[in-house]
Chain A
Amino acid sequence: MDYKRLAEDIIKKALKLGADEAEIYLENNRDFELTVRNGDVETIKQATSKGIGLTVFKEKKLGFSFTSDFSDQSVDEFTKKTIQLSEVADPKPWNGLPDFGKQETKDLNLYDSSIAEIPNEKKIMMAKEAEKIALAYDKRITKSEGGYFGDSETEIILVNSKGLSRSSKRTGAYFGVGVVAGEGNDMQSGWWSSSKRHFMDLDNIENVAKTAGKRAVEKLGAKPVETQKAPVVYDRYGAGAFWYGILFAMMGDSVYKKTTYLMDYLNKSIAPDFITLVDDPTIPRHVSSVPFDGEGKVTQKNVLIEKGMLKMFIYDTIIARKAGVKVNTIAWRSGYRSIPSAGFLNVIIQNGTVDRDKIISEIKNGFLVTGLRGIGTDIPTGNYSCGASGFWIRDGEIAFPVDGITLGGNATDILKNIEVVADDLDIRGGLNSPSFKISEMIIGGKK
């Protein structure tokens, strides 16, 4: 089926049926995933699926529907129903399709045609190998949560009645493993994985597997510490949730509604001058890169925090119009089942210059965070209270694993108290941070 043609036909139909504006977001997917456990294949899952999301505006009123039923009769009914839905909404002056003018998408090399040809035997071998190496990493590893491999191919078509017409094909390949160390009341799990657009970019199996093993074993015997104030180092792979607490506070909608602690901080300093935070979904081949966002806008690198200064809030087109601002931040879309909303795709906190081990070696008594339980930030007030696990640092060295404590404070204070950033940035996902040290935080634990 010619999906672009189908999308254009639905737009025409919608306009004929009374819509002032219409947009189609069409997704066509192929997915494969297998899991192995204890050396044997456990599940194989394979499928194709598709769907369309239709947004219409009629007299500035919004209607939205999605369907996975592409039959002619259903599509007619679907278009009619979507316009009827718009009739119940209230008109808003800022409603309507975005207008980007002329923009050319760049080829970010996100499609690997070889992925479809990888034989299942090879995929099974990779998952089995990862599991085998992780299980053998240490004698204290007792159980497997399984190894896995998956790959996918996604085609996105975005067409609207203002003449926008975009399409993109992306692939993905990933594998990983989870193991459990210990027995009885002291069990710890460790997971690690690698996820890329191109098969050949996947990390070395041995490194991934050993990382999973290490992460399980090193946490054995974790215990809470006493309640106290102490310096805290956020590990690069454990800091993601902390930054989400900052990013969610930068959402334009919350700024407009005055429900975020950062609402008065635009163009003001919120962090030391060595903190720069960007959203850059344009890195070629990267797993979090896309050529255009959920509204069809060509992606670009946006500097959100520059040298400690909060430079922009994050808006989609409709919220930006409502708030009367002009921005180029990302409109995020989870798929054809939803309409776009403000978001981010590939956040990078600028790398530091100091070796992480050196930072730790200078701490007499402190805490290294490697895992956070949730975001911990109350967006309206900035109150920060987050469950954490990691390691205690004593006399400049890792002393013992810690779990069952909370980190407390206020997000604005914590940001200002970033003392130093390490040079260990590793761009591997959608939120990439080097390790960094906070001069002092409240650690809530045993009395």
Chain B
Amino acid sequence: MRKYFKPIPRRKFLKASLTGGVIVATLPVWKIFSFTDPPQDFHVNPACNLSKETLEKLIKIALQRGSEFAEVYVEYNVGNQIYLEENKIYGAGRGVDMGVGIRVLHGEKTGYAYSDDLGFEKLKQTAEVASFIAAEAEVKEPVGLKAQKIPQYYMVKVSPDSIVPKDKAKLLWKANSVGREYDQRINQVNVSFADTNKKIIIANSEGTWMEDVQTLSRLMVSINAIEGEKRSRGYAYKDGTLGYEHYDLKVAEELAREAGRIAIAMLPAESAPAGEYPIVMAKGHCGTFFHEAIGHSLESDGIRKKTSCFWDKKGKMIASEVTSLADDGTVPGSRGTINVDDEGTPGQETILIDKGKCVNFLYDRLNAKLMKAQLTGNGRRESYQHYPIPRMTNTYLLAGNDDPEEIVKSIKKGMYIARIGGGNVSWVTGRFVFSVPEGYLIEDGKVTKPLKGIQLMGSGPEVLMNIVMVGPDLEIWGGGTCGKDGQGKPVSDGNPTLKVSTITIGGAKV
């Protein structure tokens, strides 16, 4: 299992060491601008390498009706997938997307047009359509483009696109056989490997001009177990902005064992009791909660439009004093990691909640300008077919000082949330429901029997106030694809072991 350990802030690390806290490994590459080149073995259709002259011409056309800002975004994206089920390679797939999106900003207005035809005439028309948003105003001369070097936070030596499906299939077969041998009660093993390889070029009227190659990969194992009437499922995956060098048979074996372990552990699970209980969230696997129930409400579009429950909370206490939350696009190799966002702003760490106080929001260019705030590198888009909006990258709760064992011991009756599953949240009210694919009962300070059907319910702002203990063991792990305004975007998240003093559990049992 891949685990990215994030060093805890210096003052907290000292405290944790003094109290004999958990040893935290740090990555030596942390936050060092390495300027390593993107993988050379990913081949881009040359038609997508628009020249400096073409980019400058398009920017000029986009500005012709007198807007403040114009931007060209070029994308070439290759996706690969291979899937195993029922002891057979089901199939392999490949997809290519390419196109150009042109954006014009004029005050609060956005004009956007895109084309998948890269002929100059078509692109010219696209720039013209985008320009229509502006009212006739003084025409601004764009700044000449200057190529910019960007930092490198991805961990990619070998592009997964350069690996033939036959080789990827070996990982799938290994996970399949290990999964099936793990326990007799396992009746189904599904394994998939998927990667996307995206080259982007960003150029704008302020002279920004850069390119980036974004690689994402994921090996996933899903296992079903059956015993009499009882059924369960476990899954495990490794993913991130990772090259193929991070995958081998050993990784496949470990994932299969982990998925098998969860499926078998959850097989005897009993229905969870409904009611209000204290809970422990296990390190690394519950970050989705903070992404969904808190993070979205801290994105600047909802703040500017005053539709977020936190819109007027900057500088105010919105969480308990042990709670600090950050979004960080620079975690090496993580799924939400970005060298630059989709507007060309470098990825960065942004503290959103500092010891309970709301200190910052997540900005894209439009909202930062309208709100007179600093850019945070959170302007992201799914593809050239979308304009950027404020989005999270890797979102996590910062480490605290409480011993994880003591956190569990402090609960007489409650629940241990080993991992959080899918959720549903209203960003206006902050109300949420999350499912729990792996959860256990805590009795007299000990984790005891497995529970199924746990549903965590409540409102994000309430839970923030009820975080009473936080461990030093922050892990940023896994992630998924977050949907917002019809755009999907890869993100990751993380958390240390923590205790919420009370939360509503909606179970099937009264």
Q: Which residues of A contact B (CB under 8 A)?
A: 37, 40-51, 61-69, 71, 74, 78, 81-82, 85-86, 88-90, 92, 142-146, 180, 185, 187-189, 224, 227-229, 257-259, 337, 339, 373-374, 378, 380-381, 383-387, 389, 403-406, 408-410, 442, 444-447
Contacts and interface: CB of A to CB of B under 8 A. Distances in A.
Which of B108, B306, B309, B433: most chain A Cβ within 10 A?
A: B433
Contact of B224 (A49, A259, A403, A410): A259
Interface string B282-308: 000000000000000000000001110
5 contacts: A63-B93, A74-B45, A180-B307, A409-B508, A442-B274
Contact of B113 (A47, A51, A445): A47
A447 B504 CA distance: 9
B347 interface: no
A313 to B, nearest CB: 18
Contact of B507 (A45, A74, A374, A444): A444
B385 A49 contact: yes
A384 B111 CA distance: 45
B132 interface: yes
A35 to B, nearest CB: 9
Contacts of A67: 95-97
A403 B431 contact: yes
B231 A259 contact: yes
B506 interface: yes
A49 B117 CA distance: 8
Given A64-B91, A374-B424, A69 B309 contact: no
B91 to A, nearest CB: 4
Interface string B486-510: 0000000000000000001111111
Contacts of B422: 374
Contacts of A45: 110, 112-113, 387
Contacts of B426: 189
Contacts of A43: 109-112, 133, 387
Contact of B510 (A51, A224, A380, A442): A442
B33 interface: no
Which of B274, B505, B506: most chain A Cβ within 10 A?
A: B506
Interface residues of B, number: 72
A81 B94 contact: yes
B504 A445 contact: yes
Given A63-B92, A227-B275, A189 B231 contact: no
B132 A44 contact: yes
Contacts of B424: 373-374, 387
Contacts of A88: 82, 89, 92, 164-166, 169
Contacts of B97: 51, 67-68
Contact of A384 (B115, B133, B508): B508
Interface residues of chain B: helix, strand, loop or mixed (majority) = strand
Which of B224, B431, B459: most chain A Cβ within 10 A?
A: B431
Interface string B390-424: 00000000000000000000000000000000101
B8 interface: no
Interface in B150-172: 164-166, 169
Contacts of B271: 383
A301 to B, nearest CB: 30
Contacts of A384: 508
A99 B282 CA distance: 52
Given A444-B510, A446-B504, A47 B433 contact: no
A65 B433 contact: no
Interface string B421-449: 01010101101110100000000000000
B452 interface: yes
A227 B505 CA distance: 11
Nearest to B226: A258
A224 B508 contact: no
Interface in B258-276: 271, 274-276
B99 interface: yes
Nearest to A31: B385
B188 interface: yes
Which of A47, A144, A380: most chain B Cβ within 10 A?
A: A47
B415 to A, nearest CB: 14
Contacts of B508: 383-385, 408-410, 442
A381 B270 CA distance: 12
B491 to A, nearest CB: 19
Contacts of B385: 47, 49
